[in-house]
Structure formats: structure tokens, C-alpha cells
Amino acid sequence: MGADTGGAGDRTADREGGRPERTDGSAPGPGPDTGTGTGRVPRRDHAVRAAVEQGLLGPDRPVVALLDVTGIRASAAALHAAFEEVTAPGTPVLHAFAVKATPLVPVLRLLHEQGVGAEVASPGELALAAAAGIPPGRTVLDSPAKTPAELREALALGVAVNADNPQELDRIDALVRSTDTASSIGIRVNPQVGAGSIGALSTATATSKFGVALRDEGARAWIVRAYADRPWLTRLHAHTGSQGVPLPLMARGVAETYALAEEINRHVGRHQVDTLDIGGGLPVDFGSDATAPTYAQYARLLARTAPGLFDGRYGLVTEFGRSLLAKHGTVLARVEYTKSAGGRAVAVTHAGVQVATRTVYAPGSWPLRIAAYDAEGRPKAGPDVVQDVAGPACFAGDLLAEGRPLPLLEQGDHVAALDTGAYYFAHHYAYNSLARPGVYGFTPAGDTVRFAVVREPQPLTEIVAESGGAHARSLTDL
């Protein structure tokens, strides 16, 4: 067993493919990205105005999501370059995008063409990865609740599998005895190194629901025996980081996992664990346009913390998600009305809890930057006025921003919720049966902008169908 760890509709669609020629973090086309986001901002401003001019946004389409294709390519190139810098030549490395971050097939296809695979955690995500053309050998299945059917399918396809717990490993035992599989199989461990600033996203606490708790009594010995008894276990997996987790804590979790792999291999007397899946979780700076921290900073820290990880003895898998996409997404909404309440200006828009659920319900952990644009889609000028930016849902807490200093918004203006390319508009929350917005990718094209459909705006007929429209009489006929 063993898997390779190497390497829509169209308005004016971008059909370029393949890895970017440059690997220093810059991108093809105008406006190269740097760590400061200097190329990203003018591209975004250009795209906002073009979206208004080309009718993607207007009175009948009051909210839309935009994805910066140039920026996504640049992030993928920067990820490749960062690990190429620290790994020994010839080391097999698979960067697998965490599909949960932006589960949109055209996005997965774009990343696939940039040399990025897929990390999936459900049958739905596996189906999305397959629809994007990502081969099973470049796909990794992680989930704390895999069914027998999910495991059977993954092993039949040759998808890599990380077992979350001893009971799941028992299920895999039975399947391996009856299935000829090309899947690489490993165990996920929880190094229990501590929490970051957002408890709900801290995956390496003492009581995290993920993986085998490495410091619990008897756990480490059980893991070593599990590998000794199963020569087909060749991977070891841990995921320490996420938003709010500092880099040194992430690196410590990886170092603990590397030390465990070394212990296993010494115990069995051979190089059985040949691949380490170090997860993802690089945090994102939501407070500015800067890309910080960078993949290069993280890779260099890992090389200092666990240098043996990169000496060529181990293949590597990463599972980055938010950090690849967040900076390259923008939710753009029309200001429908403005008013004043308690002496504070309020702009009522069409972007709220349905596209920014985390921000609305946990604004302290997930604040978003807001940019103001005028009716023509140009950056709005004027003195800052403290105001609320409200969404369309029928509850008082539906606010994108509260008490935020911005140029005074007026009816017909537009607001942009920045850094929303991951875990925002692709994770629709159907409060008030609000429709999913259309999603469009964009690239600069001289003086204009080319847009490509990623996802069509949701029609009302689909909302009715999803809400049992075909069974309208089912209860009254009982």
C-alpha cells in the first residue's frame, strides 16, 4: 500500500493551467502579491468597480462574492516555495488543501492545477474533490466519525486514510484483510501541547476530540504496538494549528509527532513510518492586508524545531486551508437603506449572518475589516463616521461591523467584507431563507477585469425544493 505524495460557466473565463512559473510568492499578470498585499488591494478595487459596471452587483443582485484568482495562484506558489526551501531534494511533498475551508469545485480545480491536492472530511468533500479532477492518490481522508462505508470507499479508491482512534483502527483492520488497497494509512495523534486564543479551534488541547491523546496513560505505548503489529501503517498524522494558535505551539506539536515517528521506527527496527502528515492551520491576519505569518516563516521555524523532519527520510503532507484562500475573497453588498438609531448611523446591507456567520455570532473572535465603495464601485472618500454595518436578517445581532469608523455610507453605496475567501460565503447559513450569493473568480485583463462563474446565485425555486416543496401535503395527508 502507498499513495503518491508528490507533487464552470464563463463570462470571460480564465483557462490558464499548470504550476506558476515563479515560486517566490509573486503571481502571473499585473499586480504581483507581496507579503504586504500591495498587489492585492488594487486588484480588489479594480474588481469591485468592474463587478458594478458589468452587472454582477446591482439592485436585483445586491450581494456577490469575489475570488482573486491571481492571489490564489500566488498563495499556492508561495506554499510550494516555502517547503522546497527547507526540504532535501527529492523529498515527496503533498500539499493537500483542506476542502472544508472553501468547498467549491472550481476552487479545488484551480488549486489542483497549481499542484495542490485535497484533504477531505466527509463523503461530500470527497465527491467535490473527485468532481474537481483531484486523483485519489492526492487525496487524504480525515474525520473523527468515518462510517464503515466511507472507509470502504476510501480504501477501494486508494485515498490516504488517517485513523482517528482505536475503534476506527479496528474497522480498518477488518477492511485491510479483505481489500486490496493502494491507500496509505496512518493514525492521527493529539500531541496535547495546549490551546490557542480561540478554544473552539484548538485541536491539541488535553481533551480535544481529535486523534489519540498522546499523553494519556498508556496511549503512547499503544500507538507503538499498533504500528509494530501492522506493517501497513506507514503514516503518522497530527494537526495542531488553527486560527489563534501561535507558530511556536504549532511547531511544537509537529516536533512531538516527528519524535513519535522516530520512536516507532526504532522500536520496529525498520523505516516503517515513511510519511508525516503535519496538518495545516496557519493563522491569518484579519486586521490588515498583510499576509502574516507566511508559509516561509512557518517552514523555517519547523526546520529549526525538528530538523530531521526535512532531511529526506520522511515524505510530508500538509493540510492548509484558511491561509490559502482567506485573503483572496471579498463579499460585496449593496447598501439598501441608511438611517440613524440612538445617534449612530446605520447602513442596512444585504450581507450578514448568511455569509458571515462566525463574525455575527462571535464578533470578538472573528472581526472583519470593512471597505466602503460608492455607487459606481469606487473606493469612497470622506471623513470617518462611526456607524454600524447591518445585514438583512431579522434579528438585532445581524451586524457585520458595530461602531466602525468609515466614510459615511449612503443609499446605493457598497460595502466589502474583506478576507472572506475561507469559511465565509461558501458556508451559507440559510437564516430567513436568504439565498446563497453568486461567486465569481476574477483576473486583471489590461484595463478591464475578467470574471468567471464559480457558483451561480441561488434561485428561489431551489430554496423551496430544499425546504420540502415537493412534499407540501405530506403532513396534512397523514
Q: Average pLDDT, stretch 147-171? A: 96
Residue 456 φ then ψ, to 5°: -70, 150
3-class SS at 171? helix
Burial of 10 (0-12, 13-18, 19+ CB in 10 A): exposed
The residues with which 141 forms a beta bridge, in sequence order, are 120, 161
The predicted structure's pLDDT at residue 361: 95
Task: Give 6 or 180, the one with higher predicted confidence.
Answer: 180
3-class SS at 144? coil
Share of the chain above pLDDT 70, in %: 87
Q: Which residues contact 152 (CB under 8 A, 6 or more apart)?
A: 175, 179
Q: Average pLDDT, stretch 174-202? A: 77
Mean pLDDT of the chain: 89
Q: Is the pLDDT at 12 greater than 60, yes or no?
A: no
Cα dihedral sign, 292-297-298-301: negative
3-class SS at 476? coil
Nearest to 272 by CA among 213, 336, 187: 187
Q: Give 207-255 pLDDT, tens digit per residue.
A: 566 678 888 888 889 999 999 999 999 999 998 877 667 888 889 889 9
The predicted structure's pLDDT at residue 299: 96
